Amino acid sequence: MVQHPPFDRQSLRGFLDFVEREFPDDLLRIKQPVSSTFDMTSVAFELEKMGRDPVLVFEKVEGFDMPVVTNVAASRKLLAACLGVEPGDLPTAFRERCQTYIPCETVDWAPWNEVVIEGDDVDLTKLPIPLQFSVDAAPYITAGQIVARDPVTGVDTTGFHRLMLKGKNRLGISLHSRRRMYEFHRRAEERGQALPAAITLGIHPLHYMGSMTYAYPPGVRKFEIIGGLFQEPYRLARCGVQDLEVPAGAEIIIEGEILARVHEPEGPFGEFTGYASYRSTQNVFVAHRVRMRRDALYHSVVSGMAKDHILISCVTREGEILNTLRRNLPNVKAVHVPHTTCGAFMAIISMRKTAEGEPQLAVMAALGTELYTKYVIVVDEDVDIFDMNDVMWAIATRVRAEKDIFMIPNAKGAILDPTSDPETFTLTKMGIDATRPTGKDFAERLVITEEQRGRARDILRAAGLPL
């Protein structure tokens, strides 16, 4: 009997085992039947309102034989645990590891070869693809990582693009980021060719995280960045479309192509902004083959403003902005991109200001690093940037509007930002210096020390309050 290598450490199911073993309260198995229409999304949002972000496994989805796993990337604690660090160190750990490119390992077999469906037998409607919001035009594959190769350089990439179910073998796709995948398709289309591509379903959160990086050399594969996050070679296997390499530990692979010069209506879709998005490149993916594990799990990302959808984009933006700032401003302490600002539109920077003008430099560097960010707030190191109450206190007590708030008009913004110009996608961006002035006395802040806080917690525990 042939012994195949284990892939669990780098797989979705390996992550589930890790959470169930190390953080059992952070994995919730729903055993009662649920509908693929709205139920799973509603459960995730209701838990979020309760302050809980567990990984969710829906074991029985009405009308389908396959369980659905979702909310895998909704917890900073679990994402940090994947990297072996504390939550507060997550952006720094991400920043450091994603700059270490580890060559991939190609293996000759993957569990997703256990079941192969081809030709007329391909039927994507048999997958438990959720309909998440009433505004959505159809059920959407939201956890699908598209893998394709640059037809010019031969370098591949992987990333999320929304996929609208149109039929048994047809998906609408929006290459909305206008980044590498959009360019790969444009180059193929110039030659009159479709772009061969594979959709990977069922990935580890570190793959999710690594795929969201954008600032890296053009010859580097995203799979090498993901290997840097795992601190070992990422294991890939060749699938049946143009010998594309995809994660060996995946659950499901959908092989096909993004058609050339074919455009069809796609959307609306409930996007990360919390609004329905009608903007789309309106491309079409046609599936020719599906490969899957015999006991495959269907992986879905909760859409809209769910943490599962945007928390990793918060972390990756924090890491990339921090990386830029540290080059010229080593006194920058940390960066936070709040989930509540759509995981993109606001960045808060903590720094130990040594001279006037440094906050303004930090604002300009941050806006120049991240296209989507339109508001940057700089605070002193005594302000907790992960506590919006503390940040708003700094704005309320340390900002003089006439000198500390400045505008940058006609700056390029996010295409999906509802406030951007619908033709040029430009808007006015803003920086706020919420730091104390240097070289002069300023009001002294009231402080409760960590020692005093510890004593208070001991008193509360003794009073029977669970902490």
**Beta pairing, strands 156-160 & 145-149:** antiparallel
Check the CA dihedral 220-224-225-226 and report its sign.
positive
Average pLDDT score over the chain: 92
Mean pLDDT of 108-121: 95
- CB contact set of 337 (below 8 Å; sequence gap of 6+): 313, 314, 315, 317, 318, 321, 343, 344, 346, 347, 348, 373
Neighbours of 207 (CB within 10 A): 27
What are the structural domain ranges in the chain? 8-302, 329-434
Residue 177 has what pLDDT? 62
Cα separation of 82 and 205, whole Å?
Answer: 8
pLDDT in tens, 191-247: 999 999 999 999 999 999 999 887 778 889 999 999 999 999 999 999 999 889 999
pLDDT of residue 248 exceeding 50, the answer is: yes
Residue 440 has what pLDDT? 76
- CB contact set of 370 (below 8 Å; sequence gap of 6+): 317, 320, 321, 344, 347
- CB contact set of 154 (below 8 Å; sequence gap of 6+): none
Place of tokens 């005093």: 452
pTM for the full predicted model:
0.89
Banded model confidence at residue 118, pLDDT cuts 50, 70, 90? very high
DSSP line for 163-216: EEE-SSSEEEE--TT-SHHHHHHHHHHHTT--EEEEEEES--HHHHHHHT---S
The domain 329-434 belongs to what CATH superfamily? Answer: UbiD C-terminal domain-like (3.40.1670.10)
What are phi and psi for residue 349, nearest 5 degrees?
A: -115, 130
Which residue did the predictor score with more confidence, 352 or 417?
352
Which range, of 35-44, 71-80, 361-370, 446-455, averages the lowest pLDDT? Answer: 446-455
Give the residue among 152, 219, 160, 155 at the shortest CA–CA distance from 188. Answer: 152
For Cα atoms 71, 246, 225, give the angle at the middle one, nearest 5 degrees: 75
Residue 311 has what pLDDT? 92
Residue 4 has what pLDDT? 46
The two domains 8-302 and 329-434 share their CATH topology (first three levels equal):
no
Share of the chain above pLDDT 90, in %: 79
What is the C-alpha radius of gyration for the chain, rounded to an integer number of angstroms? Answer: 23
Residue 379 has what pLDDT? 97
Cα separation of 13 and 247, whole Å?
Answer: 13
SS3 content of the chain, % helix, strand, coil (to 5): 30, 25, 45
Give the residue among 148, 202, 167 at the shortest CA–CA distance from 286. Answer: 167
Residue 72 has what pLDDT? 96
Residue 178 has what pLDDT? 66
Neighbours of 382 (CB within 10 A): 12
CATH code of the region 8-302: 2.30.110.10
